[in-house]
Structure 1
Amino acid sequence: MKRILTFLLLAGGSAAAQTPTTQSLQDVIELALNRSAVAKQTQTTRDQSYWQWRTYQANYRPQLGLQGTLPGFSRAVAPVVQPDGTTDFRAVRINNSNLAMTVSQNIGLTGGQVFVASEVQRFDDFNGRLKRYNNQPISIGLLQPIGKFNNLRWANRIEPLRYQESQRLYIEEREGIAQRITELYFDVLQQQVNAEVASQNVRANEELLRIGKERYQLGYLSQSDLLRLELNLLNARQAVAQGQLDAQNAAVSLQSYTGLRAETLQLAVPAAAPRLVVPAALALTQARQNRSVVLTFRRRLLQAEREVALARGTTGLQATLSANLGYVNQASNLWDTYATLQSQQQVQLTFALPLVDWGRQKSIIKTAELTHRQVQTDVAQEELSFEQSVQVQAAQLGTLSEQLALTARADSLAQQRYNIAQATYKVGRISLTDLTIASAEKDQARRTYILALRAAWVAHYRLRALTLYDFERQMPLAAQ
């Protein structure tokens, strides 16, 4: 049965005027995942990844563009070639405008591009009262790099992994937030428990001091024991003040992380975490299927391979094949350019080949290959550490659940023993020392139980974050 703590985290006039709100661990986690700044930041990061994915997809879709120069007027003194071949400087007033529309499509497999274009140009010589149109109604072309690095091909292998990775990472970050909130929640709860235990001790010690004074007057209690009772009361009151101070400090951390108002917040002691038996092999299987880090390992290896391909594709022979087929005509009237169109073909191969580079090409490629080898080593080591962390966490889950059950039983027994010791002391059958020991054991058992409860809940959310799997409901977290 849940025990509700009635200790206010922050005392003050404003808190006294407000109605306290009791919050369970699940309530705080849910509210923080919806309201906290860190949760909103994870949402923003996921949205950014989505739009980066849209940008990648757009590179493989047809692109329609319009470009031109309107107007292209110039009034200047420029060199003009004369009929006899000489050059003279003349004052010219011209307009050279153009307008072109292009539809292009990238070819991911080869890294080339095909396009369909239509372009019209107009030239005006205002001094000579000349007007000409040059019209290319349609042209089809190809640009194909040869031996160069194909960025589109590598993006097609890496970007889908990056997008899937971002989706899984979003779920992991939310589970990480739940784990962190659990830690902060129990930080506050631990101080609340300390303050509540101290408050109970104050009331008990006040009663014991009252009885002790009566016995002292009757000569049944020594002055030393009476002084010890007074000291116990003072220590209990000091513990209350310290517990309140520690609870305020812990509440500030919880408030700053979650964005919840701490002035009227009360925390409930959670029930025991779900007692699950998770085989290490099953946890590892789910982690490999669901975790973003698995995709990260693959992406890093591909990126290292990409750097090797980039080193090889930017050194050595570099060539580009361009081909264009279309129709063109020129006339003094725009509509006349569509009559008697003339075919136009262009094929061009440009290349560059370094003949002597003093080992530059070899050095660049060798550096990339060594980096690739180092990434392979790092990924293998990190993958091993990842698998070990999942297996260890799964193995510890059962141990922590058993420890929680033991500390819960110890807490109950210590409380019962203290109640018996207190009643026995009142009738004078045990010493004050025995009662003090029973009280200390009761307090320590309560604190130990809260710490075990914290460890069990933190381990519960940590295993969820490590595997992205809900073993309680038997389903991946992404499906929820």
Structure 2
Amino acid sequence: MNKLVIHTIASICLVLASAFGASADTLSITLDDAIIRARSHSVDAAVALNELRTAYWEYRTYRADLLPEVSFSATLPAYYKKYNTYQADNGTYNFVRNNYLQMNGELSVSQNIWFTGGRLSLNTSLDFIRQLDGDYYNRFMSIPVALTLEQPIFGINNIKWNRRIEPVRYSEAKARFLSASEDVALSAIQHFFNLLMARENLNIARQNYDNATKLYSVAKAKREMGKISENDLLQMEINVLDAKSDITNCESTLKSNMFALRSFLAYDDNVELQPVEPSLIPQTDIVYSDALDRALSNNKFAKNLRRRQLEADYNVAKAKGNLRQISLFAQIGFTGASNEFNHAYNPLKDNQVVEIGFKIPLIDWGKRRGAVKVAESNRQVVENRLRQETQDFNQNLFILVERFNNQKMQLGIANSADQIARQRYDTNVQTYMIGKISTLDLNDSQVRKDESRQKYINELFQYWYYFYQLRSLTLWDYASGTGIDADIDRILKQ
């Protein structure tokens, strides 16, 4: 008796554990749930975030070039014991042995001058030499302060051009990240509706199998009474076999689409996702002119056009700057030298250097002029492409807006057709049982029912896909009437 009770209790616990385990592994997921999880867990979202981080650090590097740079360089120490060539007064050469220790250090503060393209530096340095052979001695040379200016003249001002290009590039990267987030949502929508369609097809196949089995039983009874022909009975049997085959195919498709969505959303393999059909849709109409204004203000496309135009202008300016090169180097400061450290700083002497160098090609057979013409021609090509891309973008946006506005009506029609087709099929099943319609009419109503249901799910998918495509292009949420933005600094710190 005790063994029986224990066995019964264990069996009940096992059944309950299995039931709770099965329910724990089954997860109902809405379209919003899939989109939210895709934006935080999918591989596509991780790739978009890494691309944003790369653009951010490139922008930080550009910003750092505009700030003062403090650097310290030193040689501690350098030891030399070798022979060097020495030229005497009579022009003869000899080898002289050197054996000395050398140390030096320099501290500098440099600042790029963006409006001229030059570089201004403030330096201080100290050099030390100790002779280790012959007459031992120490030697110090100091430059307490030196102000240095390096300035290209007539050349390209890279810093000025970077100030124009890099902010646009970073703004483009941020817009690209926001659009990529919406593209992740598009992928999630596609995977979600693939699974939803597969589940609906499986439900349809199972319902058709149950109905076909029931109708086949009725047909056998009618055949025994001689009310239908042998051909109709065989047709009903074929319907049962076809319905059973459809169940197998639909189960395979469901598993495949389940795996795809589960992998995309980074769920474990033991999780069974149950998609919930969206019941509410945003009730909004979109005006093309408004969508175009938002797209040109927010979308990465407009910023991409601006960046490419600036880069083409930069290449032309760079080619023209290479026609002639003149550079200025000027340094003013103080220096001192002595055998003692203290005397190296007192007294001090003026230290002034001014250099002006230039490089102007006299005969280059038109090479540099040709480079200018090539850059100008490339700029014309870029400008033509930008005009064509702008026209294509405007046209595609117009078509998308029209399709979205029409899709709400298409969805309503598909919903009505789905309900009517199901009512018609249910009526025909009852009518067939009493012998009022033929097998062909019944099969036709079943096909219409299945097609109407599939068409409704497909129209629902198209509606949401168009909606998020418009969000991606305009970076505007038409459901809430707010712009799509993100705290980029917070995202980058995650």
TM-score by length of 1: 0.93
Does residue 285 in structure 1 map to residue 283 in structure 2? no
Q: How does 1:66-465 map to 2 (within 5 A)?
A: 66-80=72-86, 87-127=93-133, 128-261=135-268, 263=270, 264-314=272-322, 316-465=323-472
Does residue 43 in structure 1 map to residue 49 in structure 2? yes
Q: Tell me how far apart the structure 2 counterparts of residues 255 and 193 of structure 1 sit (CA, whole Å).
A: 18
Question: Measured at CA, do residues 288 and 169 of structure 1 come closer, stay the same or move farther in structure 2, by a change above 3 Å?
Answer: same
Structure of greater relative contact order (alpha carbons < 8 Å, 6+ residues apart) = 1
Secondary structure of 1:72's counterpart equals strand
Matched residue, 1:11 = none
Matched residue, 1:10 = none
Q: Kindly provide the amino acid, as one letter, of the partner of residue 23 in structure 1.
A: I
- Most deviating of 51-60 and 437-446: 437-446
The CA deviation at 1:84 is 7.5
Q: Tell me how far apart the structure 1 counterparts of residues 126 and 87 of structure 2 sit (CA, whole Å).
A: 25
Tell me, yes or no, if the aligned pair for 2:178 and 2:486 is still in contact at 8 Å.
no
- Most deviating of 425-434 and 160-169: 425-434
Tell me, yes or no, if the aligned pair for 2:262 and 2:273 is still in contact at 8 Å.
no
Tell me, yes or no, if the aligned pair for 1:251 and 1:262 is still in contact at 8 Å.
no
Q: Kindly provide the amino acid, as one letter, of the partner of residue 468 in structure 2.
A: Y
Question: Measured at CA, do residues 68 and 103 of structure 1 come closer, stay the same or move farther in structure 2, by a change above 3 Å?
Answer: same
Deviations 1:144-199 (A, max 9, x none): 01111111111000000000111110010110111122122222222221111010
Q: How does 1:20-39 map to 2 (within 5 A)?
A: 20-39=26-45
The CA deviation at 1:389 is 1.2
CA-based RMSD of the aligned residues comes to: 1.8
Deviations 1:351-389 (A, max 9, x none): 111111111111110000000010000011001111111
Q: Tell me how far apart the structure 1 counterparts of residues 223 and 114 of structure 2 sit (CA, whole Å).
A: 96
Deviations 1:316-371 (A, max 9, x none): 22111111111111111111112121122111101111111111111110000000
The CA deviation at 1:216 is 2.0
Q: Tell me how far apart the structure 2 counterparts of residues 382 and 322 of structure 1 sit (CA, whole Å).
A: 46
Tell me, yes or no, if the aligned pair for 1:290 and 1:476 is still in contact at 8 Å.
no
Q: Tell me how far apart the structure 2 counterparts of residues 118 and 389 of structure 1 sit (CA, whole Å).
A: 62
Tell me, yes or no, if the aligned pair for 2:82 and 2:98 is still in contact at 8 Å.
yes
Tell me, yes or no, if the aligned pair for 1:195 and 1:243 is still in contact at 8 Å.
yes
Does residue 64 in structure 1 map to residue 91 in structure 2? no
Q: Kindly provide the amino acid, as one letter, of the partner of residue 374 in structure 1.
A: V
Q: Tell me how far apart the structure 2 counterparts of residues 324 and 78 of structure 1 sit (CA, whole Å).
A: 31
Q: Tell me how far apart the structure 2 counterparts of residues 359 and 323 of structure 1 sit (CA, whole Å).
A: 33
Structure 2, gaps ≥5 residues long: 1-20, 488-494
The CA deviation at 1:272 is 5.0
Structure 1, gaps ≥5 residues long: 1-14
Q: Tell me how far apart the structure 1 counterparts of residues 486 and 47 of structure 2 sit (CA, whole Å).
A: 22
Q: Kindly provide the amino acid, as one letter, of the partner of residue 317 in structure 2.
A: A
Tell me, yes or no, if the aligned pair for 1:121 and 1:135 is still in contact at 8 Å.
yes
Secondary structure of 1:71's counterpart equals strand
Deviations 1:392-412 (A, max 9, x none): 111111111100000000000
Tell me, yes or no, if the aligned pair for 1:280 and 1:392 is still in contact at 8 Å.
no
Q: Kindly provide the amino acid, as one letter, of the partner of residue 291 in structure 2.
A: A
Matched residue, 1:19 = 25
Q: Tell me how far apart the structure 1 counterparts of residues 220 and 327 of structure 2 sit (CA, whole Å).
A: 103
What number of residue pairs does the alignment pair up? 465
Tell me, yes or no, if the aligned pair for 1:415 and 1:442 is still in contact at 8 Å.
yes
Q: Tell me how far apart the structure 1 counterparts of residues 359 and 366 of structure 2 sit (CA, whole Å).
A: 17
After TM superposition, which residue ranges in structure 1, 4 or more long, deviate above 4 angstroms? Answer: 15-18, 81-87
Q: Tell me how far apart the structure 2 counterparts of residues 436 and 466 of structure 1 sit (CA, whole Å).
A: 45
Q: Tell me how far apart the structure 1 counterparts of residues 24 and 220 of structure 2 sit (CA, whole Å).
A: 40
The CA deviation at 1:217 is 2.1
TM-score by length of 2: 0.91
Tell me, yes or no, if the aligned pair for 1:272 and 1:453 is still in contact at 8 Å.
no
The CA deviation at 1:417 is 1.1
Matched residue, 1:4 = none
Deviations 1:60-79 (A, max 9, x none): 00000111222121101223
Q: Kindly provide the amino acid, as one letter, of the partner of residue 77 in structure 1.
A: Y
Question: Measured at CA, do residues 81 and 135 of structure 1 come closer, stay the same or move farther in structure 2, by a change above 3 Å?
Answer: farther
The CA deviation at 1:17 is 8.7
Deviations 1:30-85 (A, max 9, x none): 11211111111111111111111110000000000111222121101223455887
Tell me, yes or no, if the aligned pair for 2:85 and 2:93 is still in contact at 8 Å.
yes
- Most deviating of 128-137 and 222-231: 222-231
Secondary structure of 1:110's counterpart equals coil
Q: Tell me how far apart the structure 2 counterparts of residues 376 and 105 of structure 1 sit (CA, whole Å).
A: 35
The CA deviation at 1:310 is 1.1
Q: State the identity %.
A: 29
Question: Measured at CA, do residues 55 and 479 of structure 1 come closer, stay the same or move farther in structure 2, by a change above 3 Å?
Answer: closer
